Structure 1
Amino acid sequence: MSRKKSVDPELSHRLSRRNMLGVTAGAGAAALLGLSAGTAGAVGSAAQGKGAGATQPVLPPNRLGIQLYSLRDKIAEIGFAAVFKELESFGYDEIEYAGYTQGIGNISVKQLARLAKSYGLNGIGSHVNYADSNPDGYSFATKLEQVLDDAEALGLEHIGTASSPARYGNTVDAYKRAAEEFNTYGEAARARGMKFYQHNHGDEFGFATDNPNVRLYDVLLEETDPKFVFLEMDIYWAYTGQFRFSVTPEGKPRPFEPIDYVVQQPHRYPLFHVKDGVHDPDSRDGYDMTDVGDGDIDYKTFIQKVNKTNKGRTYHHWQVEHDQPVDSIAFARKSADHLHALTEKKKG
């Protein structure tokens, strides 16, 4: 990062992929940029406006994101700049951080923010540990102000955690205690102009150990203040929760639909993780994780329902993710192609 900006191709302002496609709107630009036909066609069609044809993109404009945890191997190997260059070429608009270090040299959060901007990537959120057993660790519980300082330097709208709320256990009171701490973090984040959020896994949809009729996720929603605490629904993990916890420990049916949580409180879900899985009733979770577009989760319908609930508003953000992709760059490309290709018939 010590090189002058005028000679640093990784930090200099370049003609973005979206601007280029907007000007050319053709296969020539796609070939020049190394894009797949699916991505180029979808973005090019979207750029033509309302009169372009009988369909429109399902994904809201400028809302395609990726959780960088999916690309942690490449960030460690080739650094943020090289990864961001690839993401821009695939048509990504947003990124969600999962740490601020790379494997090829130090970078400050301010440098990271400038780097992302130079590739047309909007930092939308970040995952930080809820707590850390090391009192000097980096987490909301141990270094709240530093966490918020870093998020502010990165220009984030959201700052959150993918840690379980089960810090104190899986009882009703344990979740209430976690919710109280989340409220504190959320109030502090709001004072900085940001939203604090929690990202779910499957266990949150389980039942309290001291009350088998109470779903823990419901406790979290009820006990957190909607002014201060927001949710990032990981749709894949929500579906695994649906599979695992459709019946109480006492054998009573308690089915739920993940989308219903969003429809009932759409303002509390600014962020989503788009993560796919092949249904496998013999596995513990009911699904085997796979690349977005290769599984059985109907993201087109899910996104459409959120859009309908929105009534045209576009304050939701969609981050693709895979915990263990075989090829992280190929995963990022394939996911962008799949979501860009989702279209629906226009009304009227």
Structure 2
Amino acid sequence: MKRRKTVDAALAHRLSRRGMLGVTAGAGATALLGLGAGTAGAAPRAPAAGRPAPTRPVLPPGRLGIQLYSLRDKIQEIGFASVFKELSEFGYDEIEYAGYTQGIGPISVKQIARLAKSYGLGGIGSHVNYHSDDPAAYTFATSLGTVLDDAETLGLEHIGTASSPGRYGNTVDAWKRAAAEFNTYGEAARARGMKFYQHNHGDEFAFAADDPDVRLYDVLLAETDPRYVFLEMDIYWAYTAQFRFSVTPEGRPRPFEPIDYVVQQPHRYPLFHVKDGVHDPQAADGYDMVDVGDGDIDYKTFIQKVNATHKGRTTHHWQVEHDQPVDSLKFARRSADHLHALTERRRG
């Protein structure tokens, strides 16, 4: 199953609204779409004397998304259609779901899919709970078939969970048990043409309760089958974990860099959550969450390093998110503006 793609005309229309990308008509649009400005094998053209080298977007074209959890208040207040209209105007390409209900009346998954398509928004993923004590709950553990049916209706390429794998505790064996279940969900998703993924928070990077030398996230990576289980790195929470879990419970230094996980296995990280924070050593997590672009996380460098793993083929998607935005639509607009404005100079 292939994810529904926005028609070329809609994509070109959205790109034309992004003046901050520096896209001009003709050759500029061709370069933005990754088709190259010259003939195959031609050397890059040096900038004219006295002119700055041209820039290109750091964010891969067509890959800016938003996790709809950030806009849950507006979805309840004005509904999916009005929210999708705003996101399209802000220049978003993709959306990641966090539930399929709105506050202004019933709506079906099929209707949501049609609305998203009408506004040029591709459904890239969805967060569904891993488990629940209620056997009738809508979770991977209790409703796997229905979860996959809905994802298929929405045309999703990925279907995942933001739940911790700590369902059975935080020992090594407990996480091995959860990993085995994730493998089952991933195999079922793959049979439908989708990828199952797990989205991290900070505690995934803690150390095992029964072995202080073992990081739980490393257990998850080692025990899940890379054919079936993928990861969505929430970059903000990974940085808070770097602050919290760079020393073992016994006081031994165990620093890590979030980007290293991605560089070592880039194929396992198709999705990223882009949220920002101001580093504050006095805060419980070491950061205070803010709008994307207002914090200390160097997203330009992070995205560039991920782009360097592509080897000519763009494979990653970027979803902005804020857990508690003061003004969710303002957050969505400002975040899109910031990421679209990130540029790098071409080599002359």
Per the normalisation by structure 1, the TM-score is: 0.89
Contact 1:17 1:91 in 2 (8 A): no
Local SS of the residue matching 2:133: coil
Task: Please identify runs of 4+ aligned residues in structure 1 that moved more than 4 A.
Answer: 13-18, 50-53
How do 1:46-57 residues align onto structure 2 when only pairs under 5 Å count? 47=29, 49=31, 54-57=54-57
Task: Quote the offset at 1:133 in angstroms.
Answer: 1.2
1:208 maps onto 2:208 in alignment: yes
1:271 maps onto 2:250 in alignment: no
Distance in 2, Cα, partners of 1:265 & 1:15: 31
Local SS of the residue matching 1:141: helix
Task: Quote the offset at 1:347 in angstroms.
Answer: 2.4
Q: Which residue of 1 aligns with 2:185?
A: 185
Local SS of the residue matching 1:337: helix
Q: Which residue of 2 aligns with 1:315?
A: 315
Task: Quote the offset at 1:44 in angstroms.
Answer: 3.5
Q: Using a 3 Å threshold, how does the CA distance of structure 1 residues 21 and 137 change in structure 2: closer, same or farther? A: closer
Distance in 2, Cα, partners of 1:287 & 1:96: 24
Local SS of the residue matching 2:141: coil
| Structure 1 unmatched ranges of 5 or more | 1-12, 31-38
Q: Which residue of 2 aligns with 1:7?
A: none
Distance in 2, Cα, partners of 1:118 & 1:43: 26
Q: Using a 3 Å threshold, how does the CA distance of structure 1 residues 16 and 134 change in structure 2: closer, same or farther? A: farther
Q: CA RMSD in A?
A: 1.8
Distance in 2, Cα, partners of 1:133 & 1:346: 54
Q: Percent identity?
A: 78
1:239 maps onto 2:220 in alignment: no
Per the normalisation by structure 2, the TM-score is: 0.89
Local SS of the residue matching 1:125: strand
Local SS of the residue matching 1:143: helix
Local SS of the residue matching 1:160: strand
Task: Quote the offset at 1:54 in angstroms.
Answer: 1.1
Q: Which residue of 2 aligns with 1:41?
A: 20
1:32-66: CA deviation from partner (whole Å, max 9, x where unpaired): xxxxxxx4332645636366961100000100000
Distance in 1, Cα, partners of 2:134 & 2:73: 25
Distance in 2, Cα, partners of 1:162 & 1:268: 16
Q: Which residue of 1 aligns with 2:73?
A: 73
Distance in 2, Cα, partners of 1:15 & 1:183: 36
1:202-259: CA deviation from partner (whole Å, max 9, x where unpaired): 0000000000000000000000000000000000000000000000000000000000
1:218 maps onto 2:238 in alignment: no
Task: Quote the offset at 1:20 in angstroms.
Answer: 3.5
Q: Which residue of 1 aligns with 2:100?
A: 100
Distance in 2, Cα, partners of 1:347 & 1:200: 36
Contact 1:16 1:119 in 2 (8 A): no
How do 1:20-35 residues align onto structure 2 when only pairs under 5 Å count? 20=13, 25=16
Distance in 1, Cα, partners of 2:255 & 2:264: 16
Contact 1:17 1:89 in 2 (8 A): no
1:166-219: CA deviation from partner (whole Å, max 9, x where unpaired): 000100001000000000000000000000000000000000000000000000
Distance in 1, Cα, partners of 2:255 & 2:310: 25
